[in-house]
């Protein structure tokens, strides 16, 4: 049913320009220098579309992390005193550099984590938008003179950077998840130590290369890599360090809780963007065609591997069958499985074998508990998996309480608004939610009652640098992007000048 171009899955980086291969390195960036891991070890990074080795990356340990922290701490002494205009100009230059290199960066991303090239191109532009946005916000970090209750006192507050920051990012948005944090931190006057995910380390290192070319001072941006074997030790080192004054993390709820717990001893600022398990609700009054388009855009973007993708799709009884048939039909027309580096591909591979195993486990559990496979359901070659629609989903299935993080659309039928709100809010997560309705009163009611940090109403794609990104409940702490994003990296200092004379 779905088109699968197996031949194009043999692409390798050798097919592309030297610009792409120049980003593949087994070194890390510390204190303005490209260096090997102290132990001299590396780990292998694989192309998920063909199983081939893409390149080797440096296997850093807590010792490398400590050196990077020292570099960021020393650099902070002078970086914090730079003018907002200076920091703004550097960020804008980095934005320009990323935009000029967007094709190579997109190809690199597609090779290391399997995102279709069109989506990778979109992410590079999206990621660059945060560099541009916070270049502008850097010059708006203003204090205020307060109205003193006494004539001989002047009261004011100023905003200052919190200090060096540890940034830990996931593989599914290897450029944008870094730039969204990095740009805000740099704009505020913080220095950073970045640990990108082991499945997509080269996109993070590519940013370091561009920043180095732009002319950021040594030690302001540091990027270290490691396999899963050393991820915990590096994270713990960042959390326990008294010099690191903030942790900014995007990833699983379990790891986020661990980082929060490990940061208690140093009482540092912790910003978390965690799991979603987003509800996608289609009411009887909805435009079914638009709801189907929004569902496909939300559910199957990046092969279902996004924290804000639709995971639980609730469809009201009256239009349930119509929606399912339209969804299956549209998927067969629009979803083309193939090499992520082929421009015709709209559905690439899952990131690794563990991701495939989770999808298979969710489908098996659901079908054993009564769900029916309407389309798809098969593991293809390597890490490719057919886009799947399951009907008859209910709350006792694993996919109701766990993010599938794969191309599985599970359809839950519901009767009333009250019923679906209860089901949507039943989970401990609350990142994003979506619903389709043409009833304005219902739109306002449901938007008020959904327990999430972000809502798409009649819209399946909601992210933008101008909008605050973040969740409630166990989906995280703080906001990224927007005018609020810089607050995660700012301290407010109150100053009172007394005994003044006229």
**Which residue's structure tokens are 């593989």?**
171
Judge whether 453 and 431 are in contact, CB under 8 Å. yes
CA–CA separation, 251 vs 456, rounded Å?
A: 21
Q: For residues 51 and 53, give the distance between their C-alpha atoms in angstroms, rounded to a whole number.
A: 7
Using N-to-C axis directions, what is the helix angle for 176-188 and 201-214, rounded to 10°? 40
For residues 342 and 434, what is the distance between their CA atoms, to the nearest angstrom?
A: 30
Q: Which two tokens stand for residue 408?
A: 């599985």
Cα–Cα distances (Å) from 135 to 86, 243, 465, in that order, read: 10, 25, 12
Q: How many CB atoms lie within 10 A of CB 367?
A: 15
411, 255 contact by CB (below 8 A): no
The single residue listed with the structure tokens 């109205």 is: 147
Distance CA 11, CA 116 (A): 13
d(C-alpha 42, C-alpha 481), whole Å: 34
The tokens describing 350, both together, are 């899952």
Tell me which of 132, 273, 386, 417 is the catalytic residue: 273
Q: Find the Cα–Cα–Cα–Cα dihedral 87, 90, 95, 100, rounded to 10°.
A: 180
Q: Does 273 participate in catalysis according to the annotation? A: yes
388 φ, ψ to 5°? -125, 140
**Alpha-carbon distances of 33 from 84, 224, 341, rounded to whole Å:** 25, 12, 31
Per the CB < 8 A criterion, the answer to whether 460 and 310 are in contact is yes
Measuring CA to CA, how many Å separate 364 from each of 74, 174, 377, 409, 444? 53, 30, 9, 14, 37
Residue 255: φ, ψ to 5°: -70, -35
Q: What number of other Cβ atoms are within 10 A of residue 424's Cβ?
A: 25
Phi, psi of 468 (to 5 degrees): -70, 125
Which residues does the annotation mark as catalytic? 273
């Amino acid at each position: 049913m779905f088109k699968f171009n197996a031949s194009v899955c043999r692409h390798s980086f050798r097919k592309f320009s030297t610009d792409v291969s120049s980003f593949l390195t087994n070194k890390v960036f510390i204190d303005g220098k490209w260096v090997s891991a102290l132990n001299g070890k590396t780990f292998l990074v694989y192309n998920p579309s063909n199983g081939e080795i893409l390149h080797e990356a440096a296997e850093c340990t807590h010792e490398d992390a400590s050196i990077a922290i020292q570099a960021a701490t020393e650099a902070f002494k002078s970086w914090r005193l730079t003018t907002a205009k200076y920091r703004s100009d550097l960020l804008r230059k980095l934005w320009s550099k990323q935009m000029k290199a967007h094709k190579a960066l997109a190809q690199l991303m597609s090779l290391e984590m399997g995102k279709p090239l069109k989506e990778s191109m979109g992410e590079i532009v999206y990621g660059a938008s945060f560099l541009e946005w916070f270049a502008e916000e850097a010059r708006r970090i203003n204090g205020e003179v307060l109205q003193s209750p006494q004539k001989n006192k002047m009261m004011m507050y100023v905003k200052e950077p919190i200090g060096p920051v540890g940034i830990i990012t996931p593989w599914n948005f290897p450029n944008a998840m870094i730039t969204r944090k990095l740009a805000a931190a740099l704009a505020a006057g913080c220095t950073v130590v970045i640990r990108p995910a082991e499945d997509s380390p080269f996109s993070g290192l590519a940013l370091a290369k561009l920043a180095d070319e732009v002319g950021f001072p040594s030690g302001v941006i540091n990027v270290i890599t490691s396999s899963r074997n050393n991820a915990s030790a590096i994270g713990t080192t960042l959390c326990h360090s008294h010099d690191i004054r903030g942790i900014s993390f995007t990833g699983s709820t379990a790891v986020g809780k661990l980082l929060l717990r490990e940061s208690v001893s140093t009482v540092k600022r912790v910003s978390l963007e965690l799991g979603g398990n987003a509800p996608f609700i289609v009411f009887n009054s909805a435009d079914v065609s638009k709801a189907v388009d929004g569902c496909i855009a939300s559910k199957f973007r990046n092969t279902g591997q996004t924290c804000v993708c639709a995971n639980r799709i609730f469809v009201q009884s009256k239009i349930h069958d119509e929606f399912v048939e339209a969804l299956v039909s549209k998927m067969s027309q629009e979803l083309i499985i193939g090499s992520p580096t082929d421009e015709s591909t709209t559905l690439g591979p899952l990131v690794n074998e563990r991701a495939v195993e989770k999808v298979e486990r969710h489908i098996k559990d659901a079908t054993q508990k009564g769900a029916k496979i309407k389309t798809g359901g098969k593991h293809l070659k390597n890490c490719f998996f057919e886009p799947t629609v399951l009907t008859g989903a209910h709350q006792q299935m694993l996919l109701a309480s766990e993010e599938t993080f794969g191309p599985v659309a599970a359809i839950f039928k519901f009767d009333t608004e009250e019923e679906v709100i209860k089901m949507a809010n039943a989970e401990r997560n609350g990142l994003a939610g979506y619903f389709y309705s043409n009833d304005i009163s219902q739109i306002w009611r449901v938007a008020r009652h959904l327990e999430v940090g972000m809502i798409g109403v009649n819209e399946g794609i909601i992210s933008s640098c101008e909008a605050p990104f973040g969740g409630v409940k166990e989906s995280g702490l703080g906001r990224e992007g927007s005018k609020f994003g810089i607050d995660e990296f700012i301290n407010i200092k109150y100053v009172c000048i007394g005994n003044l004379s006229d």
